[in-house]
Every structure is written in structure tokens, then in C-alpha cells.
Amino acid sequence: MQLTGAQIVIECLKEQGVDTVFGYPGGAILNVYDELYKHKNEIRHVLTSHEQGASHAADGYARSTGKVGVCLATSGPGATNLVTGIATAYMDSVPIVAITCNVGVPLLGKDSFQEIDIAGVTMPITKHNYIVKDVTKLADTIRKAFEIAKKGRPGPVLVDIPKDVTAQKTEYQAKEPVAVQRDTGRITEEDLQTALKLIREAKKPYVFVGGGAVISGASEDLREFVDKIDAPVCDSLMGKGAFDGTDPRYTGMLGMHGTKTSNYGVSECDLLIAIGVRFSDRVLGNAKKFANQAKILQLDVDPAEINKNIVVTASVIGDVKEILGRLNAQLAPMEHKEWMDHILAYKEKYPLTYHPEGLSGPYIVEQVYRMTKGEAIMVTEVGQHQMWTAQYYRYAKPRTLLTSGGLGTMGYGLGAAIGAQVANPDKQVVNIAGDGCFRMNMNEVATAVREKLPLIQVVINNHVLGMVRQWQNLFYEARYSATVLNDSVDFVKLAEAMGATGIRVTTREEFTDAFQKALDSKTPVVLDCIINCDDKVWPMVAPGAAISEVFCEEDLDNK
């Protein structure tokens, strides 16, 4: 049948099982929005307050479900406003498809009104991108975009469509989506046998889990693997929930704000088994000193990650769920009692602690954990509150912590929380923000209200840019350059002005009461939680130091 380009866009979205898109209309994309209006009973459109919010919402939708998230924007500034969200998804391997519309083909390259080469702009931050100048190629291009976004190591794909192409007609024939298979082509028996030999010879193995284990759905295989090799487990920020954070073998996060147990344990192990991790600088600390007494076995779907940031002893390249399944099939149960006892003694000696009095970030996160029974989808912005949320909420399941790990995007959380709440209407979504981050995209409170989303926005408000201030305090002789937010912004009034409920809390008792009200509410609630401006994230590894040099507040006091 003959369809316009705009109609083809909608039909292709329906082919791919898309039920929700996030976006903001404009002149160049009007034809697509007109068709979207006609299909509003099949595809829900969430109008965000800003295109960046739309890209983060698509990201949150994707992270919380494993499906491809979709965002829409018009040409020029509409398209460029997606860039931060696309880059965030790229750094954390999140499958999103961004559809933008540009000026007509005859106007391209002529500095036309609201023209931008968005394909050129986003080339370094997408798995692939397209500008479709021929309507006959539009359907197959959109189908390919979804396939690429999901395949192997997931990531964002952008499709840019000139306005005249959305109006032109061509023959359209529906197709079933391509079934994306797990990436197993590079898994060799030789690599598996090398891995098995390293595992069987190890006396002090340690398992380090990253976001790849979440993406591949490898949690059950991972649990079986850990039980078989009898090893402790730590994770990266992106790996939260891949291994049950309440399991006795779990020792917490590794790296700059990792636990002493994980940092000491990895520094003492004789085999580090890295599963779906990219060895970021925040994990490694001083790369030359990282696990330098251990052999390192890396399991990852992306060959580009092998030996990129740290040289490994051996690797198996492929989907980590598939790799773990094949290793489990050949592994007999092992026992490392002395090693496990040693690590468990570290856990007992070096628990995460915080000041027992007053309202603080760690207390807030622990109380949220208790009151949600560990079953919420937690979302964060970036900074001290992000680390506290990683440290003090125990993630038993994957896809329950959504946070910007690679790009560290302030302003990510509220948009992502909207996407997650839309995708998971029966779950409680909580976004933890600092006051600095909340300011960046707090306009999305209006979106949450319009969509009647019962998400809870917790603002941990210390009236400073907390993480930067912490570095200034520790490493810049307390020169607080541009990090003090000494103005009169009232987040409670702001929330109420946008139609949400706003509650200010200053004590533990007030927080418990306010959070219970928020849980009972069916509408968005903003909690403005006032804490001390000098609270810090502990433990910490100084820049350039080895992770074994991790220190906490007591260590500084004892110097």
C-alpha cells in the first residue's frame, strides 16, 4: 500500500512493538506528529518539558525494561537538545532510537532556518546514524536502527528524516522485526578452556560484575557461577543488581567510592574475574597498581574493551550470559573457605558507616530502602547522592538502579524516572537528586504531573555542589570556587507551582512521615531534604592512588 514517510515512521514503530515515545514537536517533524495523533490509542506520546528530558526518559524506559526506548525531536535546537541524552545512553550501552526531522532535502546545507547536521553532530556518540533522503529507504532504515540498537553491545541510533521525505509517498509492506540473537560468534573452545584453567587453579578468586551482566540478563547464570567457584563478588556502579546485593558473598562496590572490603580484597586476590565491565578510571584508581598481583580474566561482548584500559591475562568475547552458561556446564563445585573467611572478616571489620545523628544522605537512602522493602526502581542524578544511593540501597535484582555512570550527567535522573515510571506503572520509582542536579531539569516535574505519575523526587539539599565541594575540601585547601548555592530557591513552592506536592524535611522523623505520605500519594511528590553542607561520601580513593589506599573519615582523624 502507498503511505507517506510520516505514516511509515508510525507503522515501523508499531512493527517494533513500541508502545511509548517521548518527545517534543516542532515544524520539521509536524507530519510525524500529525500521524502520531491519529494513532494515539496505539502509541502513547509523553510530552516532556525539554528535549533533553525526552532523551533521558527514553533511556530510563530502556534501562528499566531492556526494550528499546524511543524519543522524537524536530530540527535544529530540538535535535541538538537530545545530544546529552544520546551521549549518556552511548556511554552506558543503552538501546535507544532517536528520530529527528530536518529541513527539506533541497534546503540541506544552505544554513536554512533550524537546520543542523545532527547526523554529523552525533556520529561519535551513536552506534550508527542515518539521514534518510529517499522515502523508499525509510522503512528499512528504521528497522535497521532498532536492530543495531539491540544487537551485541547495545547503544543509541539516530535516524534523521528531512521534512519533505515525511510527506512523500512510497509502497510500504509490513515486516516482522528481525530477531536479535545473542552474540556468540567469537566464543571459542580454546578461550573457554583457558578461562576454566585459570578458575580451577585460583586459590583466591574474586568476581567483579559490571553493567554487561545486567544488559545480558545473566543474573541467574552469575549466581550459579559464583556458587560453583565459591568466590566473593563486588560490582561497578552499572553492575548493581546483577548479583544480589543482600547475598553474604557480596562485598559492595569497587573503586573510588567502593568499600574497603572490595578494594582490599581485589588488591589481594590471585584471580580477578571481570564480567561485563570496562575497567573505567573510577574503578581502577592507579591502573599500574590495580590488582597487580592477580591474573585477570575478562568476559565481555565487546572486543574493543579487551586490553583497552588494563592488560588482562585471558578473555572470552561474547554475550556474558552465554559464556557463563558454558563455563557452568564444565565447572564442578569448588571450595575456598580460607579465602572466603578472610573476606567476610573484612566485611565485619569495615562496614559502611555514617554519623548516627541527624538527617543525612546515607540515612535517607537507608530509610527509602526500608520503606520500599527494597522493591523500588531507584534513579539518581550525579554526585554525592548518587554514591550514597549506590552504597546504602541494596539491589537484589537487575534494572533497579538507573544512573548515569559513564558520562556522569547532572540532570539525568528526573527524565529517566519519568521513563521508568511510564514503563513500570505498578512499581514505585524514586529519583534521588542533589539540589545542584535537580535545578538542571526540574522543569520535568511538570511532565510528571501532566502524566499523573506517582514518582517520588527526593532532593538531598545541602545548598552546595556536594561532590565538587568534597574535592575542594580534601584536595584544594577548602577553596569553594562556584560551588556554594547561596540563593533563595524554594523547591517546595516550585513543586507546588508545577502542580506537585512539595514537602520540606529537616529531621529523620519528618523524613519518615513525608516519605510515607509520598508512598501513599498517587501524584508526584518532591521532598526537599535539608542536610549539612560538609557531609562527605566515604570511603574514598584519592585521584592517582591505588584502590588499596582507600580511606575514610576515621583514617583522616587518626593521621
Residue 559 pLDDT grade (very low, low, confident, very high; cuts 50, 70, 90): low
Q: What angle do CA 52, 215, 260 make, to 5 degrees?
A: 95
Q: Domain 361-540: give its CATH code.
A: 3.40.50.970
Length of the chain: 559
Average pLDDT (495-518) is 98
Q: How far is CA 469 from CA 105, 126, 344, in A?
A: 49, 33, 34
Q: How far apart are CA 385 and CA 389, in angstroms?
A: 6
The reported pLDDT for the residue numbered 57 is 99
What is the per-residue pLDDT across 50-61, written as a single tens digit (0 to 9) for each?
A: 999 999 999 999
Q: How far apart are CA 382 and CA 395, in angstroms?
A: 18
Burial class (CB in 10 A: 0-12, 13-18, 19+), 65: middle
How many CB atoms lie under 10 A from the CB of residue 89? Answer: 34
Burial 477-508 (b: 16+ CB within 10 A, else e): eeeeeebebeeeeebbebbeebebbbbbbeee
Q: How far is CA 432 from CA 365, 452, 495, 547, in A?
A: 8, 19, 15, 27
Q: How far apart are CA 40 and CA 461, in angstroms?
A: 39
What is the per-residue pLDDT across 448-478, written as a single tens digit (0 to 9) for each?
A: 999 999 999 999 999 999 999 999 999 999 9
pTM for the full model? 0.97
Phi-psi group of 241: left, alpha or beta (phi > 0 → left; psi -120 to 50 → alpha; rest → beta): left
Q: Which amino acid is at 109?
A: G
Q: Assess whether the region 189-349 and the region 361-540 belong to the same CATH fold.
A: yes
Mention the CATH class of domain 189-349. alpha beta
Average pLDDT (69-75) is 98
The reported pLDDT for the residue numbered 556 is 85
What is the sign of the dihedral through the CA atoms of 539, 542, 543 and 545?
negative
Instruction: Report the helix count and the strand count for the chain, using DSSP H and E.
Output: 24, 20
The reported pLDDT for the residue numbered 394 is 98
For the cut 70, the answer to whether the pLDDT of residue 313 exceeds it is yes
Burial 410-447 (b: 16+ CB within 10 A, else e): bbbbbbbbbbbbbbbeeebbbbbbbbbbbbbbbbbbbb
The reported pLDDT for the residue numbered 557 is 81
What is the per-residue pLDDT across 130-175, written as a single tens digit (0 to 9) for each?
A: 999 999 999 999 999 999 999 999 999 999 999 999 999 999 999 9
Say which residues have a Cβ less than 8 Å from residue 547's Cβ, sequence separation at least 6.
254, 255, 256, 258, 263, 266, 267, 283, 284, 285, 286, 289, 290, 541
Could you tell me if 432 and 381 are in contact, meaning their C-beta atoms sit under 8 angstroms apart? Answer: yes
The reported pLDDT for the residue numbered 31 is 98
Q: Which amino acid is at 13?
A: L
Q: Grid coordinates 574493551 are at which residue?
A: 305
**Crossing angle of the two packed helices 320-330 and 219-229, in degrees rounded to 10:** 30
Say which residues have a Cβ less than 8 Å from residue 479's Cβ, sequence separation at least 6.
472
For the cut 80, the answer to whether the pLDDT of residue 298 exceeds it is yes
CATH 3.30.420.40 fits 2-171, yes or no: no
Q: How far apart are CA 145 and CA 122, in angstroms?
A: 14
**Crossing angle of the two packed helices 189-201 and 320-330, in degrees rounded to 10:** 60
The reported pLDDT for the residue numbered 228 is 98
Q: What is the mean pLDDT of the chain?
A: 97
Domain boundaries, the chain: 2-171, 189-349, 361-540
**Crossing angle of the two packed helices 51-65 and 83-91, in degrees rounded to 10:** 20
Largest CA distance in the chain: 77
Q: What is the 3-state secondary structure (H, E, C) of 60-91?
A: HHHHHHCCCEEEEECCCHHHHCCHHHHHHHHH
Q: Which H or E element spans position 121? A: helix 118-122
For the cut 70, the answer to whether the pLDDT of residue 107 exceeds it is yes
Could you tell me if 22 and 13 are in contact, meaning their C-beta atoms sit under 8 angstroms apart? Answer: no
Catalytic residues: 51, 113-114, 163, 467
How many CB atoms lie under 10 A from the CB of residue 170? Answer: 16
Q: Of the candidates 232, 186, 425, which has an alpha carbon nearest to the alpha carbon of residue 339?
A: 232
Residue 558 pLDDT grade (very low, low, confident, very high; cuts 50, 70, 90): confident
Q: How far apart are CA 155 and CA 58, in angstroms?
A: 12
Q: How far apart are CA 402 and CA 240, in angstroms?
A: 9
The reported pLDDT for the residue numbered 205 is 98
Q: What single DSSP character describes residue 444?
A: G
Phi-psi group of 165: left, alpha or beta (phi > 0 → left; psi -120 to 50 → alpha; rest → beta): alpha
What is the per-residue pLDDT across 244-282, written as a single tens digit (0 to 9) for each?
A: 999 999 999 999 999 999 999 999 999 999 999 999 999
Measure CA 68 to chain center. Answer: 14
Q: What secondary structure does DSSP assign to 466-531, as a single string? A: HHHHHHHHHHSTT--TT-B--S---HHHHHHHTTSEEEEE-SHHHHHHHHHHHHH-SS-EEEEEE-
What is the per-residue pLDDT across 216-254, written as a single tens digit (0 to 9) for each?
A: 999 999 999 999 999 999 999 999 999 999 999 999 999
Phi-psi group of 441: left, alpha or beta (phi > 0 → left; psi -120 to 50 → alpha; rest → beta): alpha
Burial class (CB in 10 A: 0-12, 13-18, 19+), 152: middle
Could you tell me if 211 and 92 are in contact, meaning their C-beta atoms sit under 8 angstroms apart? Answer: yes
Q: How far apart are CA 369 and CA 374, in angstroms?
A: 5
